[in-house]
Amino acid sequence: GCGGAESGGEASDALNAPGAEALNNADGKTTVEFWHSMKGANATAVDKLVADFNAANGGKIEVKAVYQGSYDETIAKYKASVQQKSTPALVQVYDIGSRFMVDSKQVVPMHRFIEKDKFDAGDIEPNIASYYSVDGKLWSMPFNTSTPLLYLNKEAFESAGLDPTKPPKTLAEIGELAKKLTVKDASGKTTQFGFGAAIYGWLLEQLLATDGKEYCDNGNGREKLATRVQFDQPAAVQVAQWWADLVRNGYATNTGRKTDDAQAAFKAGTVAMHLESTSVLRGYVDAAAGKFTVLTAPYPKVSDASTGGPIIGGASLWINGVGHSAAEKRAAWEFAKFSADATPQAQWHTGTGYVPINVRALDQVDKAWVTKYPQFRTAVDQLHSLPPSVASAGCLLGVMPQARKAAEDGLEAAIVGTKPAEQAMKDAATSVQPAIDSYNKSVA
């Protein structure tokens, strides 16, 4: 999140300067290019949202949704578009890109529109709003909000004589169950692994937060600019070692760093326990239909002694000021406002698995649907019970995407066994230092 950034780099032409008029058609229609990173069921949900908005705007505004690849790919393309002076009017940026966006001097903060329209932002979930605020003011519109989950294959638990209503709560408990949930065929080939997850840096960020540990220094970058990452601390090394041991013992599969590959293994029913965001829940339920039951449980803790809670995940919508006309900026705001309303957020929740950002959205969801899909409740409850803490606010770092990649380097080295866990995480933390130093110099 961006909360705590000391100074905002607001786009200098702010709300009213003329800017480029190219996208305002002769017929008076304003076109808004909207870059996003949603795919599968979530892309279908974006397309529906955009179609509903366009229909409601009677041909005056047309939002054009453009899939730009993963979150990492979208922010890379966004950076290139800043250089080429061709940013989209609206862009979905993941949580960890927020500090960069605030510093970018490209965007008009959302609170400028909120103030101008006297828009009542009171329906936005308070802890989500605070995640995307600087000094209590929203810089982007929360859009897709997640928390991380433990996913379970219900029938795999039952076949092993385990109770799926009693999910493991700690890494050690996952380890014990993973052994019992690993199944081999007559030839000794493993047909089901107890555990499997992508080597995805977000999962480590979340485990540290649930352990109450800060990922970077200076109060997770909230007291002042963070100067180093701390993912080589003992709790992180413990995570790397735990994961490496599960793979080495044959109780976990290593599908590598691509989230798609780990997701495919869970959807295929070859992995009994899995860590992922609630963002993939709709796609999982659809893929498993008629084959197995997808259950969700709170994200595990590093140990029984852990006292923290996870970090809000997902992404938010940013309006670019530089190079966009007043009409485009307003049109982008109209879409952001629409997307945050109760009914669109209710559809978004059921279509994706994300937690609604609007406090009234769940009232709009059909009661029969809620009863049929209790799995969708876990992330909502987890978000509502987040402890307010510096650890679960997440690390604020201009180069957080690079830090995440470095952490993945460390985890992977430990998991495939090229380095001992402690060395792997230490080397990974060291590798990101030049990027942190040079970013901090550039914003000083």
Ligand X SMILES: O=P(O)(O)OC[C@H](O)CO
Q: Is residue 96 part of the contact set for ligand X (CB under 6 A)?
A: yes
Q: How far apart are CA 154 and CA 10, in angstroms?
A: 49
Q: How far apart are CA 92 and CA 172, in angstroms?
A: 37
Residue whose C-beta lies closest to ligand X: 313
- Segment near ligand X (CB under 6 A), from 90-98, 265-273, 293-301, 384-392? 90-98
C-alpha angle 420/428/174, rounded to 5°? 55
Q: Is residue 277 part of the contact set for ligand X (CB under 6 A)?
A: yes
Q: Is residue 95 part of the contact set for ligand X (CB under 6 A)?
A: yes
Q: Is residue 394 part of the contact set for ligand X (CB under 6 A)?
A: no
Distances 63 to 141, 226, 287 between C-alpha atoms, Å: 16, 37, 30
Report the nearest approach of ligand X to the CB of residue 151 (Å): 13
- Segment near ligand X (CB under 6 A), from 173-181, 310-318, 365-373, 378-386? 310-318
Q: Is residue 410 part of the contact set for ligand X (CB under 6 A)?
A: no
> Which 39-78 positions form the footprint of ligand X (CB under 6 A)?
71
| 3-class DSSP state of 296 | strand
H-run or E-run covering 246: helix 234-248
- CB 389, CB 309: distance < 8 Å: yes
Distances 42 to 53, 155, 257, 293 between C-alpha atoms, Å: 17, 26, 21, 20
- Segment near ligand X (CB under 6 A), from 94-102, 117-125, 370-378, 432-440? 94-102
Report the nearest approach of ligand X to the CB of residue 95 (Å): 5
Report the nearest approach of ligand X to the CB of residue 144 (Å): 5
Site string for ligand X, 327-346 (x = CB under 6 A): --------------------
Strand partners, 61: 30
Whichever of 192 and 278 has its CB closer to ligand X, that residue is 278
Q: Is residue 266 part of the contact set for ligand X (CB under 6 A)?
A: no
Whichever of 54 and 382 has its CB closer to ligand X, that residue is 382
Q: Is residue 94 part of the contact set for ligand X (CB under 6 A)?
A: yes
Q: How far apart are CA 143 and CA 343, in angstroms?
A: 13
Q: Is residue 35 part of the contact set for ligand X (CB under 6 A)?
A: no
Site string for ligand X, 180-209 (x = CB under 6 A): ----------------------x-------
Give residues with Cβ within 8 angstroms of 274, minimum separation 6.
Answer: 150, 151, 152, 195, 196, 197, 262, 265, 266
Q: How many residues does the chain have?
A: 444
Q: How far apart are CA 108 and CA 17, in angstroms?
A: 12
Report the nearest approach of ligand X to the CB of residue 71 (Å): 6
Report the nearest approach of ligand X to the CB of residue 221 (Å): 16
Whichever of 104 and 146 has its CB closer to ligand X, that residue is 146
DSSP 70-136: SHHHHHHHHHHHHHTT---SEEEEEGGGHHHHHHTS-EEPHHHHHHHTT--GGGB-HHHHHHTEETT
Give residues with Cβ within 8 angstroms of 276, minimum separation 6.
Answer: 148, 149, 151, 197, 198, 259, 262, 263, 266
Report the nearest approach of ligand X to the CB of residue 313 (Å): 3
Q: Is residue 98 part of the contact set for ligand X (CB under 6 A)?
A: no
- Segment near ligand X (CB under 6 A), from 232-240, 262-270, 313-321, 373-381? 313-321
Total residues binding ligand X (CB under 6 A): 12
Sign of CA dihedral 405, 69, 266, 191: negative
> Which 143-162 positions form the footprint of ligand X (CB under 6 A)?
144, 146
Whichever of 283 and 323 has its CB closer to ligand X, that residue is 283
Q: Which residues bind ligand X (CB under 6 A)?
A: 71, 94-96, 144, 146, 202, 277, 279, 313-315
